[in-house]
Protein backbone atom coordinates (compact mmCIF):
# COMPACT_ATOMS: atom_id res chain seq x y z
CA UNK A 1 0.00 0.00 0.00
CA UNK A 2 1.05 3.57 -0.62
CA UNK A 3 3.12 5.07 2.15
CA UNK A 4 1.80 8.49 2.95
CA UNK A 5 4.05 10.23 5.46
CA UNK A 6 1.55 13.01 6.11
CA UNK A 7 -1.26 10.64 7.03
CA UNK A 8 1.09 8.31 8.89
CA UNK A 9 1.95 11.23 11.13
CA UNK A 10 -1.65 12.16 11.80
CA UNK A 11 -4.27 10.67 14.10
CA UNK A 12 -6.36 8.14 12.22
CA UNK A 13 -9.62 6.84 13.63
CA UNK A 14 -9.31 3.16 14.60
CA UNK A 15 -12.65 2.18 16.14
CA UNK A 16 -15.31 3.41 18.53
CA UNK A 17 -14.32 3.53 22.22
CA UNK A 18 -17.08 1.01 22.92
CA UNK A 19 -15.52 -1.45 20.44
CA UNK A 20 -12.47 -1.88 22.67
CA UNK A 21 -13.23 -3.56 25.98
CA UNK A 22 -11.35 -6.43 27.69
CA UNK A 23 -10.27 -8.23 24.55
CA UNK A 24 -7.54 -7.05 22.17
CA UNK A 25 -8.81 -6.02 18.76
CA UNK A 26 -7.24 -6.09 15.32
CA UNK A 27 -7.69 -3.18 12.96
CA UNK A 28 -6.05 -2.43 9.62
CA UNK A 29 -4.82 1.06 8.78
CA UNK A 30 -3.02 1.85 5.56
CA UNK A 31 -2.52 -1.86 5.00
CA UNK A 32 -0.86 -2.32 8.40
CA UNK A 33 -2.30 -4.84 10.85
CA UNK A 34 -2.52 -3.23 14.28
CA UNK A 35 -3.60 -4.64 17.62
CA UNK A 36 -5.41 -2.38 20.06
CA UNK A 37 -5.83 -3.15 23.73
CA UNK A 38 -7.03 -1.45 26.85
CA UNK A 39 -5.71 -1.66 30.42
CA UNK A 40 -5.72 0.58 33.52
CA UNK A 41 -3.12 2.82 31.92
CA UNK A 42 -5.31 3.54 28.91
CA UNK A 43 -5.44 2.39 25.30
CA UNK A 44 -2.48 1.07 23.33
CA UNK A 45 -1.66 0.16 19.74
CA UNK A 46 1.08 -2.24 18.61
CA UNK A 47 1.97 -3.74 15.30
CA UNK A 48 -0.08 -6.94 15.34
CA UNK A 49 2.94 -9.19 15.27
CA UNK A 50 4.75 -11.10 17.97
CA UNK A 51 8.52 -10.88 17.53
CA UNK A 52 8.96 -14.51 18.61
CA UNK A 53 7.23 -16.37 15.75
CA UNK A 54 5.06 -13.77 14.07
CA UNK A 55 1.75 -14.68 15.68
CA UNK A 56 -1.03 -12.09 15.64
CA UNK A 57 -1.15 -10.61 19.13
CA UNK A 58 -4.79 -9.69 18.58
CA UNK A 59 -5.63 -13.41 18.92
CA UNK A 60 -4.31 -13.32 22.48
CA UNK A 61 -5.77 -11.74 25.57
CA UNK A 62 -5.16 -9.01 28.13
CA UNK A 63 -4.13 -10.41 31.52
CA UNK A 64 -3.15 -8.23 34.48
CA UNK A 65 -2.76 -5.30 32.11
CA UNK A 66 -0.38 -7.17 29.77
CA UNK A 67 -1.04 -8.22 26.21
CA UNK A 68 -0.45 -11.96 26.06
CA UNK A 69 0.58 -13.65 22.82
CA UNK A 70 -1.76 -16.52 21.89
CA UNK A 71 1.08 -18.81 20.70
CA UNK A 72 3.66 -19.15 23.50
CA UNK A 73 2.26 -16.75 26.04
CA UNK A 74 4.87 -14.00 25.95
CA UNK A 75 3.54 -10.96 27.82
CA UNK A 76 3.92 -7.39 26.65
CA UNK A 77 3.35 -4.33 28.83
CA UNK A 78 1.96 -0.96 27.71
CA UNK A 79 5.29 0.33 26.38
CA UNK A 80 5.67 -2.72 24.13
CA UNK A 81 8.40 -4.30 26.26
CA UNK A 82 8.11 -8.04 26.76
CA UNK A 83 8.12 -8.63 30.52
CA UNK A 84 7.51 -12.35 30.65
CA UNK A 85 8.64 -15.32 28.56
CA UNK A 86 7.14 -18.47 30.11
CA UNK A 87 9.65 -20.81 28.42
CA UNK A 88 12.66 -18.97 29.79
CA UNK A 89 14.23 -20.42 32.99
CA UNK A 90 13.85 -17.92 35.83
CA UNK A 91 17.56 -17.11 36.11
CA UNK A 92 17.74 -15.94 32.48
CA UNK A 93 17.12 -12.34 31.49
CA UNK A 94 14.53 -11.35 28.91
CA UNK A 95 16.36 -10.24 25.74
CA UNK A 96 16.14 -6.48 25.16
CA UNK A 97 14.97 -7.11 21.62
CA UNK A 98 11.84 -8.80 22.92
CA UNK A 99 9.47 -5.92 22.21
CA UNK A 100 6.33 -5.20 20.29
CA UNK A 101 6.43 -2.23 17.94
CA UNK A 102 4.20 0.35 19.59
CA UNK A 103 2.34 3.20 17.92
CA UNK A 104 0.73 6.35 19.23
CA UNK A 105 -2.75 5.67 20.56
CA UNK A 106 -5.31 7.90 22.22
CA UNK A 107 -8.98 8.00 23.11
CA UNK A 108 -10.99 11.12 22.24
CA UNK A 109 -14.47 12.08 21.09
CA UNK A 110 -15.83 8.56 21.55
CA UNK A 111 -13.15 6.94 19.40
CA UNK A 112 -9.74 5.30 19.62
CA UNK A 113 -7.16 6.94 17.34
CA UNK A 114 -3.78 5.69 16.22
CA UNK A 115 -0.73 7.45 14.95
CA UNK A 116 1.64 5.29 12.92
CA UNK A 117 4.35 7.95 12.97
CA UNK A 118 4.35 7.89 16.76
CA UNK A 119 4.89 11.63 17.00
CA UNK A 120 1.78 12.42 19.07
CA UNK A 121 0.47 15.39 17.09
CA UNK A 122 -2.19 17.57 18.63
CA UNK A 123 -5.77 16.39 18.14
CA UNK A 124 -8.08 18.78 16.31
CA UNK A 125 -10.65 20.52 18.51
CA UNK A 126 -14.27 19.38 18.63
CA UNK A 127 -15.95 21.87 20.97
CA UNK A 128 -19.40 20.28 20.69
CA UNK A 129 -18.14 17.07 22.25
CA UNK A 130 -18.77 17.04 25.97
CA UNK A 131 -20.06 20.63 25.89
CA UNK A 132 -23.09 21.10 28.17
CA UNK A 133 -26.22 21.57 26.08
CA UNK A 134 -24.98 19.33 23.29
CA UNK A 135 -26.00 15.77 22.69
CA UNK A 136 -23.47 13.65 20.80
CA UNK A 137 -24.29 10.55 18.82
CA UNK A 138 -21.55 8.28 17.50
CA UNK A 139 -22.03 7.01 13.97
CA UNK A 140 -20.24 4.29 12.01
CA UNK A 141 -18.35 2.25 11.04
CA UNK A 142 -19.39 2.32 7.41
CA UNK A 143 -17.14 0.76 4.76
CA UNK A 144 -16.74 2.28 1.33
CA UNK A 145 -14.89 0.92 -1.70
CA UNK A 146 -13.30 4.26 -2.49
CA UNK A 147 -10.23 6.16 -1.47
CA UNK A 148 -10.52 8.45 1.56
CA UNK A 149 -10.32 11.85 -0.19
CA UNK A 150 -13.31 10.99 -2.42
CA UNK A 151 -15.36 10.11 0.66
CA UNK A 152 -14.33 13.31 2.43
CA UNK A 153 -15.01 15.49 -0.59
CA UNK A 154 -18.50 14.04 -0.97
CA UNK A 155 -19.21 15.13 2.61
CA UNK A 156 -17.99 18.67 1.82
CA UNK A 157 -20.12 18.91 -1.32
CA UNK A 158 -23.11 21.21 -0.86
CA UNK A 159 -24.34 21.00 -4.46
CA UNK A 160 -25.38 17.34 -4.28
CA UNK A 161 -27.71 17.69 -1.29
CA UNK A 162 -30.82 18.58 -3.32
CA UNK A 163 -29.99 15.96 -5.96
CA UNK A 164 -28.70 12.79 -4.28
CA UNK A 165 -30.63 13.49 -1.07
CA UNK A 166 -33.69 15.11 -2.63
CA UNK A 167 -36.62 15.00 -0.28
CA UNK A 168 -34.33 14.63 2.75
CA UNK A 169 -31.58 17.27 2.63
CA UNK A 170 -32.85 19.39 -0.24
CA UNK A 171 -35.71 19.94 -2.66
CA UNK A 172 -35.73 19.90 -6.46
CA UNK A 173 -37.09 23.49 -6.73
CA UNK A 174 -34.15 24.93 -4.77
CA UNK A 175 -30.98 23.52 -6.23
CA UNK A 176 -29.11 26.76 -6.84
CA UNK A 177 -26.33 27.61 -4.39
CA UNK A 178 -25.61 31.24 -3.54
CA UNK A 179 -22.10 32.59 -3.69
CA UNK A 180 -19.93 32.09 -0.62
CA UNK A 181 -16.31 32.34 0.41
CA UNK A 182 -13.87 30.01 2.10
CA UNK A 183 -11.67 31.38 4.88
CA UNK A 184 -8.49 30.16 6.36
CA UNK A 185 -6.90 30.46 9.80
CA UNK A 186 -3.87 28.82 11.37
CA UNK A 187 -5.83 25.78 12.41
CA UNK A 188 -8.83 25.53 10.16
CA UNK A 189 -10.40 26.18 6.79
CA UNK A 190 -14.07 27.08 6.84
CA UNK A 191 -16.81 28.37 4.59
CA UNK A 192 -19.30 31.18 5.02
CA UNK A 193 -22.81 30.05 5.88
CA UNK A 194 -24.42 28.59 2.79
CA UNK A 195 -28.22 28.63 2.50
CA UNK A 196 -29.82 25.25 1.79
CA UNK A 197 -33.58 24.85 1.54
CA UNK A 198 -34.66 21.67 3.31
CA UNK A 199 -38.04 19.95 3.52
CA UNK A 200 -37.76 19.23 7.25
CA UNK A 201 -34.42 20.24 8.75
CA UNK A 202 -35.21 19.56 12.41
CA UNK A 203 -38.02 17.01 12.44
CA UNK A 204 -40.75 19.59 13.10
CA UNK A 205 -42.16 19.19 9.59
CA UNK A 206 -41.42 22.82 8.69
CA UNK A 207 -39.62 23.36 5.33
CA UNK A 208 -37.16 26.25 5.43
CA UNK A 209 -33.69 27.54 4.73
CA UNK A 210 -30.94 26.35 7.01
CA UNK A 211 -27.32 27.50 6.89
CA UNK A 212 -24.37 25.18 6.42
CA UNK A 213 -20.82 26.00 7.45
CA UNK A 214 -18.19 23.55 6.29
CA UNK A 215 -14.90 23.14 8.11
CA UNK A 216 -11.77 21.25 7.08
CA UNK A 217 -9.96 20.20 10.24
CA UNK A 218 -7.49 17.62 8.99
CA UNK A 219 -6.97 15.70 5.72
CA UNK A 220 -9.32 12.98 6.95
CA UNK A 221 -11.47 14.89 9.45
CA UNK A 222 -14.04 17.46 8.37
CA UNK A 223 -17.20 18.93 9.81
CA UNK A 224 -20.30 20.83 8.90
CA UNK A 225 -22.58 22.80 11.16
CA UNK A 226 -26.18 23.39 10.17
CA UNK A 227 -27.83 26.40 11.79
CA UNK A 228 -31.46 27.37 11.92
CA UNK A 229 -31.47 31.16 12.14
CA UNK A 230 -34.99 31.28 13.60
CA UNK A 231 -34.63 28.79 16.40
CA UNK A 232 -30.87 28.81 16.99
CA UNK A 233 -30.82 25.05 16.53
CA UNK A 234 -27.36 23.76 15.72
CA UNK A 235 -26.58 20.37 14.31
CA UNK A 236 -23.07 19.41 13.38
CA UNK A 237 -21.50 16.30 11.95
CA UNK A 238 -17.86 15.44 12.24
CA UNK A 239 -16.80 12.97 9.57
CA UNK A 240 -13.55 11.16 10.08
CA UNK A 241 -12.32 8.38 7.84
CA UNK A 242 -9.62 5.73 7.96
CA UNK A 243 -7.73 4.37 4.96
CA UNK A 244 -7.76 0.65 5.68
CA UNK A 245 -6.73 -1.51 2.76
CA UNK A 246 -5.90 -0.29 -0.75
CA UNK A 247 -8.95 1.45 -2.20
CA UNK A 248 -11.00 1.04 0.97
CA UNK A 249 -12.18 3.54 3.52
CA UNK A 250 -14.01 3.19 6.81
CA UNK A 251 -16.07 6.19 7.88
CA UNK A 252 -17.13 7.31 11.35
CA UNK A 253 -18.92 10.37 12.63
CA UNK A 254 -20.05 12.38 15.62
CA UNK A 255 -23.45 14.01 15.28
CA UNK A 256 -24.05 16.84 17.74
CA UNK A 257 -27.33 18.60 18.51
CA UNK A 258 -28.07 21.54 20.81
CA UNK A 259 -31.81 20.86 20.67
CA UNK A 260 -34.23 18.05 21.40
CA UNK A 261 -34.56 16.02 18.21
CA UNK A 262 -37.43 13.83 19.41
CA UNK A 263 -35.55 10.81 18.11
CA UNK A 264 -33.45 8.09 19.72
CA UNK A 265 -29.74 7.62 19.04
CA UNK A 266 -30.63 4.52 17.00
CA UNK A 267 -33.03 6.51 14.82
CA UNK A 268 -30.42 9.20 14.26
CA UNK A 269 -27.84 6.58 13.24
CA UNK A 270 -30.36 4.87 10.98
CA UNK A 271 -31.18 8.14 9.19
CA UNK A 272 -27.48 8.85 8.72
CA UNK A 273 -26.94 5.33 7.36
CA UNK A 274 -29.73 5.89 4.85
CA UNK A 275 -28.18 9.19 3.71
CA UNK A 276 -24.76 7.56 3.48
CA UNK A 277 -26.19 4.68 1.44
CA UNK A 278 -27.41 7.27 -1.11
CA UNK A 279 -23.89 8.68 -1.46
CA UNK A 280 -22.09 5.33 -1.55
CA UNK A 281 -22.76 4.24 -5.16
CA UNK A 282 -21.79 7.70 -6.38
CA UNK A 283 -18.50 7.76 -4.49
CA UNK A 284 -17.62 4.13 -5.25
CA UNK A 285 -17.91 4.75 -8.98
CA UNK A 286 -16.22 8.13 -9.34
CA UNK A 287 -13.26 8.29 -11.73
CA UNK A 288 -10.43 8.69 -11.29
CA UNK A 289 -10.34 6.90 -7.94
CA UNK A 290 -7.67 9.35 -6.81
CA UNK A 291 -8.92 12.85 -6.15
CA UNK A 292 -7.39 15.01 -8.88
CA UNK A 293 -5.32 17.78 -7.35
CA UNK A 294 -4.83 19.34 -10.77
CA UNK A 295 -7.87 21.61 -10.86
CA UNK A 296 -7.86 21.63 -14.64
CA UNK A 297 -8.78 17.94 -14.72
CA UNK A 298 -12.40 18.55 -13.75
CA UNK A 299 -14.83 21.39 -14.26
CA UNK A 300 -15.57 23.23 -11.03
CA UNK A 301 -18.31 25.73 -10.23
CA UNK A 302 -18.18 28.58 -7.73
CA UNK A 303 -20.27 26.48 -5.37
CA UNK A 304 -17.46 23.90 -5.33
CA UNK A 305 -15.24 26.28 -3.38
CA UNK A 306 -15.09 24.03 -0.33
CA UNK A 307 -13.90 21.04 -2.33
CA UNK A 308 -11.41 23.21 -4.18
CA UNK A 309 -10.07 24.41 -0.82
CA UNK A 310 -9.88 20.79 0.33
CA UNK A 311 -7.86 19.80 -2.73
CA UNK A 312 -5.50 22.74 -2.28
CA UNK A 313 -5.05 21.84 1.38
CA UNK A 314 -4.15 18.23 0.54
CA UNK A 315 -1.74 19.44 -2.10
CA UNK A 316 -0.02 21.88 0.27
CA UNK A 317 0.34 19.23 2.96
CA UNK A 318 1.64 16.72 0.46
CA UNK A 319 -1.00 14.04 1.03
CA UNK A 320 -0.43 11.36 -1.59
CA UNK A 321 -2.76 8.58 -0.55
CA UNK A 322 -5.87 8.77 -2.73
CA UNK A 323 -4.78 11.91 -4.56
CA UNK A 324 -3.21 12.46 -7.95
Query: Shortest gap between Cβ of 53 and ligand FES (angstroms)?
Result: 4
Q: How many CB atoms lie within 10 A of CB 146?
A: 24
Residue 209 near ligand FES by CB under 6 A: no
Residue 69 near ligand FES by CB under 6 A: yes
Cβ proximity to ligand FES, 68 vs 105, nearer residue: 68
Q: What angle do CA 165, 170, 171 make, to 5 degrees?
A: 110
318: Cβ contacts below 8 Å, ≥ 6 apart: 5, 6
Select the binding partner of residue 52 from Co ion, ligand FES, none (C-beta < 5 to 8 A, by kind): ligand FES
Spatial distance between the Cα atoms of 208 and 170, rounded to a whole number of angstroms: 10
In 3D, which of 245, 278, 78 has the Cα closest to residue 163? 278
Binding residue for Co ion, selected from 43, 279, 291, 311, defined by CB under 5 A:
279
Residue 72 near ligand FES by CB under 6 A: yes
Cβ proximity to Co ion, 113 vs 214, nearer residue: 214
Residue 218: its H or E element: strand 208-218
Residue 212 near ligand FES by CB under 6 A: no
Q: Taking the CA atoms of the chain, what radius of gyration do you get in angstroms?
A: 22
Cβ proximity to ligand FES, 56 vs 164, nearer residue: 56
Stretch that binds Co ion, among 71-79, 138-146, 273-281, 293-301 (CB under 5 A): 273-281
Angle between helices 305-317 and 148-155 (to 10 degrees): 150
Cβ proximity to Co ion, 202 vs 279, nearer residue: 279
Give the number of residues in contact with ligand FES, rule: CB under 6 A: 8
Residue 82 near ligand FES by CB under 6 A: no
Spatial distance between the Cα atoms of 250 and 14, rounded to a whole number of angstroms: 9
Cβ proximity to Co ion, 35 vs 177, nearer residue: 177
Exposed (0-12), middle (13-18) or buried (19+): which is 193, by Cβ within 10 Å? middle
Q: Contact letters (x/-) for ligand FES, 33-62, by CB under 6 A?
A: -----------------x-xx-x-------
Beta bridge partners of 242: 250
Helices (H), the chain: 5-8, 148-155, 161-164, 265-284, 305-317
Select the binding partner of residue 279 from ligand FES, Co ion, none (C-beta < 5 to 8 A, by kind): Co ion
Cβ proximity to ligand FES, 45 vs 50, nearer residue: 50
Spatial distance between the Cα atoms of 296 and 22, rounded to a whole number of angstroms: 51
Cβ proximity to Co ion, 75 vs 279, nearer residue: 279
Interface positions with ligand FES (CB under 6 A): 50, 52-53, 55, 69, 71-72, 74
Interface positions with Co ion (CB under 5 A): 279
Amino acid sequence: MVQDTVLKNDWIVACRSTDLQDQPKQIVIMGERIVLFRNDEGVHAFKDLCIHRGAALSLGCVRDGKLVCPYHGWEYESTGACVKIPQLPEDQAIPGKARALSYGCTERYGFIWVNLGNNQPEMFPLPEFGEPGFRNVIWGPQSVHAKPPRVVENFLDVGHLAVVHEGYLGVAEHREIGDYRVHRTETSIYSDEIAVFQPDPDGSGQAKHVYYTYEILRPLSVKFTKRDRETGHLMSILLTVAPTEEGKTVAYGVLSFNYETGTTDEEIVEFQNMIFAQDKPIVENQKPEDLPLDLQMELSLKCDRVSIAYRQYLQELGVTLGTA
